[in-house]
Structure 1
Amino acid sequence: MKTMLLGAAALAAPLALAQPALAAPKAFGYPVPVTDTLTFDPMLDARLRWENVDTPTKDADAVTLRLRSGFELKHAPSHLSVLAEAESTLEIDNHFNGLAFVPGKARPDYAVVPDAANVELNRLQIQYRTRQLGLTVGRQRINLDDQRWVGGVAWRQNEQTFDAVRGEATIGPVMADVTYANSQRTIYGLDAGPRTAYDGNFWFLQAGVKQGPVTIKAFSYLLDYDTKEQVGPLAITLADTQTYGVRATAALPLGKKAKLNLIGSYAHQQGWKDNPAKYGADYVNAEAELTAYDFTATGGYEKLGSDKGIALQTPMATLHKFNGWADLFLTTPKSGLEDVYVGLARAFPKLHGLNANVTWHDFHSDVGHVKFGEEWDASVGFKVRKVALLAKYADYKAKGFGVDTTKFWLEADYAF
Structure 2
Amino acid sequence: MRNYRYALLPLALAAACAHADDSLSLTDALTNGKVTIDSRLRMENVSDDAITKDANALTWRNRVGYKTAPWFGFTLFAELEDVRALDESYNSTANGRTQYPTVADPEGSEWDQAGIAWEPTPGSQLVVGRQRINLDNQRFFGSVGWRQNDQTFDAAAFTQTLGKNTTARYYYLQDAHRVFGHANPNPLLAEYDIGGHLVNVAHVFGPATLTGYGYFVENEDLPLTSNRIIGARLAGTHALNEPWKLLYTAEYAQQANWRDGAHAIDADYVLFEIGAARGAYAGKFSQERLGGDGHYAFQTPFATLHAFNGWADKFSVIPVNGLIDNAVLVNGPAGKLQWAASYHQYSADHGGADYGTEWDASLSYAFKQRFTALAKIASYDADSFARDTDKFWLSLEYKY
TM-score, length basis structure 1: 0.87
Residue 197 of structure 2 corresponds to which residue in structure 1?
A: 203
Cross-structure match for 2:101: 111
SS at match of 1:227: coil
Tell me the amino acid that sits aligned with residue 330 of structure 1.
S
CA distance in 2, matches of 1:290, 1:110: 41
Write the letter of the residue equivalent to 1:183.
D
Q: Take 1:7 and 1:60, find their aligned partners in 2: how far apart are those partners?
A: 45
Structure 1 gap ranges (5+):
21-33, 230-234
Deviations 1:276-307 (A, max 9, x none): 33342100001123210332112110000013
Q: Distance in 2 between matches of 1:53 and 1:5?
A: 43
What is the 5 A alignment of 1:329-340?
Answer: 329-340=315-326
Deviation of 1:332 after TM superposition, in Å, equals: 0.4
SS of match in other structure, 1:87: strand
Match of residue 284 from structure 1: 270
Query: Which of the residues 70, 75, 79 maps onto 2:70?
Result: 75
Structure 1: distance between partners of 2:294 and 2:343? 30
Tell me the equivalent position of 2:386: 402
Deviation readout 1:138-169 (Å, 9 max, x if unpaired): 10011000000000000000000000011111
Post-superposition shift, 1:131? 4.3
2:286 aligned with 1:300: yes
- Structure 1 CA distance for aligned equivalents of residues 244 and 161 of structure 2: 29
How far did 1:3 drift? 2.5
Aligned-partner residue type, residue 303 of structure 1:
R
C-alpha distance in 2, partners of 1:5/1:330?
33
Distance across 2 between alignment mates of 1:7 and 1:79: 17
Query: What amino acid is aligned across from residue 60 of structure 2 in structure 1?
Result: L
CA shift, 1:38, in A, is 7.4
d(CA) in 1 for partners of 2:304, 2:12: 26
Offset from partner CA, 1:312-343 (integer Å, 9 cap, x none): 10010000000000000000001000000002
Would the alpha carbon gap of residues 5 and 68 (structure 1) be closer, same or farther in structure 2, given more than 3 Å must change?
farther
Equivalence for 1:29:
none
How far residue 39 of structure 1 moved from its aligned partner, in angstroms, is 3.0
Q: Is the CA contact (8 Å cut-off) linking 2:227 and 2:265 kept in structure 1? A: no
Q: Give, in angstroms, the shift of residue 209 of structure 1.
A: 2.2
Query: 1:127 Cα deviation (Å)?
Result: 1.2
- Further displaced range: 138-147 or 49-58: 49-58
Please name the residue that 1:391 is paired with: 375
Name whichever of 141-150 and 212-221 sits farther off.
212-221
Q: State yes or no: 1:120 paired with 2:110.
A: yes
**Equivalent residue for 2:166, pick from 163, 174, 195:** 174
3-state SS of 1:320 partner: helix
| Structure 1 match to 2:354 | 371
| Aligned-residue offset at 1:371 | 0.1
Aligned amino acid, residue 59 of structure 2: T
What's the CA shift for 1:5?
4.3
* TM-score (ref. length: structure 2): 0.91
2:5 is the counterpart of 1:2? yes
Post-superposition Cα deviations, 1:117-142, rounded to whole Å, max 9, x if no partner, equal: 01001100211245421211110011
Residue in 1 that maps onto 2:301: 315
The answer to whether the 8 A contact 1:64-1:91 is kept is: yes
Counterparts of 2:126 and 2:13, CA distance in 1: 16
Task: Give the Cα separation in 2 of the matches to 1:291 and 1:382.
Answer: 21
CA drift of 1:272 comes to 1.6
The separation in 2 between residues aligned to 1:330 and 1:398, in whole angstroms, is: 15
Following the alignment from structure 2 to structure 1, what is the Cα–Cα distance between the partners of residues 229 and 245? 32
The 3-state SS of whatever aligns with 2:140 is coil
Gaps of 5+ in 2: none
Aligned residue number for residue 42 of structure 1? 35
The answer to whether the 8 Å contact 2:294/2:350 transfers is no
After superposition, residues 215-226 of structure 1 pair within 5 angstroms as 215-226=209-220
Give, as a single letter, the amino acid of the residue that structure 1 aligns with 2:391: K
Question: What letter is aligned with 1:4?
Answer: A
Partner-residue secondary structure (3-state), 1:325 = coil
Which one of the candidate residues 175, 185, 191 is aligned to 2:183?
A: 191
Cα pair 1:9 1:125 within 8 Å, conserved: no
- Percent identity of the aligned residues? 34
Taking the aligned partners of 2:374 and 2:6, their CA distance within structure 1 comes to 39
Q: CA deviation at 1:397?
A: 0.1
What letter matches 1:112 in structure 2?
Answer: T
Code of the aligned partner of 2:377 = Y
CA distance in 1, matches of 2:308, 2:323: 12
CA distance in 1, matches of 2:340, 2:323: 24
Aligned twin of 1:412:
396
Equivalent residues in 2 for 1:8-27 (5 A)? Answer: 19-20=26-27
Q: Could you tell me which amino acid in structure 2 is paired with residue 355 of structure 1? A: Q
